[in-house]
Chain A
């Protein structure tokens, strides 16, 4: 663990420079530039709002558009960061074959780059909050912690995925599809409160209800999205009970994923 931190510190300039490169390259020749970054969550928000008007989803006291936008922010960050991270090593094969530096820099850079887009979305969210006349409370200071945790979840999948993707490009193609399916298993379109009500309060699945809820919250995004909405919109602290299963899972998988990545790293240049 100490070695990882030392490595990261030693190569901090490289991470910064590669991040800068990724961002500039992405928007260099686009007329709307970085505005594209926020288009997707905004468009999804509008679609979901439209769908909601037919289906009827109880969003509690919070207006549905802003609630779903606040869910889409961490979700889109997670999905893009993970997909980008998985592709990162293969994308940089020219460098992998020629120059050595710790290879985890590639997924790490890919993931951190997405923070920029997240930051821009934050302005939109602020705008929406002004529109709906909502005041943030001191709990909003939790946001960096929640985002750091999201970043670690992304890395868990990205490190392993990037290493496998070097040998089998199937992973790069399949994982984004799986991730977009995962969105429906996360409280993006509907608030977590609905799941909680169904399973914990109404015990809809009988004696299996509590177990099912734990399985549902094993998905770290369930806790992340709910907590993000809590601290930004509801003025509440994060709900740790819904975050715990996902956190435990991440704490187990992240070291394994990292170890696997480092073990495969030696063969990247030969196989890529």
Chain B
């Protein structure tokens, strides 16, 4: 029998402010008379959720803000009830939803340990037995008889975390509490969490925006979107999907915000017709894979013949940081351009940038370096992450082919390395 079972669970919240007593009374009178009542549109936080979790599973829950993660945890912790459907939880739940919910500023650390642990459902005898361990873990030995209103925020969180993780329960619910305190304490917290998760065969639900953590700790991941489970499976696959979806969302938002920001200057001799991104087959596209070929095609109308004009194509980030630019100035035999429509293609065999949103810029100068045309944000495109890239180091802008030698032995990274680079 599954330890947690959700049967077509939905949860609505009413939007807007609470009705005043006056409105409520008026509505009640109307209802009694059988007249129509003004209703506010409900907000569906969870929409027909249906899944079950078995004993001992460690399940990560990911999704954007507002996807319904916290509402789901609240339902499982019995803090709130579903609007429709049924939630069955067969075991004691220990909710670590925001540590420190029950700390009382006026009480000392010691008093708070007993109070907070009782609130979390630990018996007095158990707390007394574990008291020293809790204090030792939180590193607050010398402050334990000080009212916690005089604690620093880090001290408070340490205490709360130590209390919360000493709960024995079949089901552990953890919401964004994994990283607290300074680096050394964070490390301790992680070890404690992993111990809780791996050591005792508990069922664990973790909500976090730290996908890497989720991947590491969980055996199964649920991806939520607008109150629905859109993916349910192995951590790597679901996280990969999540990355793709977030990138799409980010680039869509960027496009929207950049649309009004096209910077263009033209002397009138040239008019832009189109700027396109092409894939391997020469079809127009909006995205390329990380490390893939970047191929930009610019079509423009020349109104007055230009002798040996210099053409520049480049890329920049959405905040106008110039990334690359290449010019035809070095090409001796570049052609003159007559009146009519012309087409230029700019091809970078391996575009070495990490996943994200980028823009194309384009400029034309005449042979005396006079500005004829410049334009920025002419085309917005997305670089998609590869599934391998997600596992790689996070802090970087460039995606470069790499080779490794460890203790003199060559190791090949599974990252695709262009053939030429690999042989040298």
A residues lining the B interface (CB < 8 Å) = 13-14, 17-18, 20-21, 24-25, 28-29, 94-101, 167-168, 170, 266-267, 269-271
B124 touches A13 (CB 8 A): yes
Question: A167 — nearest CB in chain B belongs to which residue?
Answer: B18
CA distance A197 to B102 in the complex (A): 53
Q: Is the interface of A mostly helix, strand, loop or mixed?
A: helix
From B18, B77, B107, A100 is in contact (CB under 8 Å) with B77
B77 touches A24 (CB 8 A): no
A99 touches B80 (CB 8 A): no
Of the listed residues B81, B93, B98, B118, the one surrounded by the most CB atoms of chain A closer than 10 A to its CB is B118
B102 touches A17 (CB 8 A): no
A270 touches B123 (CB 8 A): no
B79 touches A18 (CB 8 A): no
Q: Give the chain B neighbours of A13 by CB distance below 8 A.
A: 118, 123-124
CA distance A4 to B106 in the complex (A): 31
Smallest beta-carbon distance A269→chain B, Å: 4
A25 touches B118 (CB 8 A): no
Q: Chain B 93-126, CB within 8 Å of chain A: the 1/0 string?
A: 1010110011010110001001100111101100
Known: A13-B118, A17-B115, A95-B119. A100 touches B78 (CB 8 A): yes
B residues lining the A interface (CB < 8 Å) = 13, 18, 21, 24, 74, 77-81, 93, 95, 97-98, 101-102, 104, 106-107, 111, 114-115, 118-121, 123-124, 147
Smallest beta-carbon distance A248→chain B, Å: 28
CA distance A261 to B228 in the complex (A): 32
A99 touches B101 (CB 8 A): yes
B106 touches A25 (CB 8 A): yes
Known: A13-B123, A100-B79, A270-B80. A21 touches B104 (CB 8 A): yes
Smallest beta-carbon distance A171→chain B, Å: 9
Known: A17-B118, A21-B111. A98 touches B79 (CB 8 A): yes
Known: A17-B118, A18-B115, A98-B98. A270 touches B13 (CB 8 A): yes
Q: A96-B79, A267-B80 are in contact. List 10 more A-B contacts (CB 8 A).
A: A14-B118, A17-B118, A21-B115, A25-B104, A94-B102, A98-B98, A99-B77, A99-B95, A100-B93, A101-B119
Smallest beta-carbon distance A163→chain B, Å: 14
Q: Give the chain A neighbours of B101 by CB distance below 8 A.
A: 94-95, 97-99
CA distance A21 to B106 in the complex (A): 9
Q: Give the chain B neighbours of A96 by CB distance below 8 A.
A: 79
CA distance A13 to B124 in the complex (A): 7
CA distance A189 to B74 in the complex (A): 50
Question: B94 — nearest CB in chain A belongs to which residue?
Answer: A99
Known: A14-B118, A99-B79. A21 touches B18 (CB 8 A): no
Q: Give the chain A neighbours of B79 by CB distance below 8 A.
A: 96-100, 269
From B93, B97, B121, A98 is in contact (CB under 8 Å) with B97
Smallest beta-carbon distance B164→chain A, Å: 10
From A14, A29, A167, B119 is in contact (CB under 8 Å) with A14
From B24, B102, B111, A95 is in contact (CB under 8 Å) with B102
From A14, A21, A97, B107 is in contact (CB under 8 Å) with A21
Q: Give the chain A neighbours of B97 by CB distance below 8 A.
A: 98-99
A17 touches B114 (CB 8 A): yes
CA distance A170 to B21 in the complex (A): 9
CA distance A70 to B95 in the complex (A): 47
A99 touches B102 (CB 8 A): yes
Smallest beta-carbon distance A88→chain B, Å: 14
CA distance A112 to B79 in the complex (A): 24
Known: A24-B106, A29-B106. A99 touches B114 (CB 8 A): no
B104 touches A168 (CB 8 A): no
Smallest beta-carbon distance A13→chain B, Å: 5
Of the listed residues A95, A98, A170, the one surrounded by the most CB atoms of chain B closer than 10 A to its CB is A98
Question: B13 — nearest CB in chain A belongs to which residue?
Answer: A270
Smallest beta-carbon distance B130→chain A, Å: 15
B107 touches A25 (CB 8 A): yes
Known: A25-B106, A94-B102, A170-B21. A99 touches B120 (CB 8 A): yes
